[in-house]
Amino acid sequence: MSLTPIVIAFGIVALLFVVVAAASARWTGGLAPTPAPGAGPGWREAFGAVWAAAAAEAGVLTLLAALWFGSLGHGGWPTLFLLLGLLAAGGDGWWRQRLLGASRRDNLTLLAASVVKYLLAGGVFAWRLT
């Protein structure tokens, strides 16, 4: 597998992850224990706060996807990325609720956003890396 499709897939997925992370921060009011409705950070602050971590997450996922599609196979990618999304979001929801007092609704919103972004990323990887 050449480097070009990997870099293109990384760019698309990194953009997807940054947008989803910024939107999640806006919808839930950031990580404040009890945010007021609509009191989340502005779009500029949200993008500034999440871009590095979201891009790093996309980079690791891109390497895993390159390994999956380059050597292990093509089938089963929806299940793989669904499980990865649940794994990535599951623990975060627990500590947000227990330690920060986040609402159950916010946790479900973030869980759904995480699973959807991983499934979309898997679709991008299946498209670009196969």
**pLDDT band with cut points at 50, 70 and 90 for residue 33:** very low
Q: Which structure tokens are listed for 124?
A: 């991008």
Which domain, by its residues, includes 54?
Answer: 3-129
Whether 82 and 112 have beta carbons less than 8 Å apart is answered as no
Mean pLDDT on 111-127: 93
Residue 75: per-residue pLDDT: 77
Q: What pLDDT band is residue 41 in, cutting at 50, 70 and 90?
A: low
Q: How many domains does the chain fold into?
A: 1
Confidence band (pLDDT; 50, 70, 90) for 88? confident
Statement: the pTM of the whole predicted model exceeds 0.75: yes
d(CA 117, CA 61): 11
Helix axes of 77-100 and 43-67: crossing angle, nearest 10 degrees = 140
Q: Determine the average pLDDT of the residues in 49-68.
A: 91
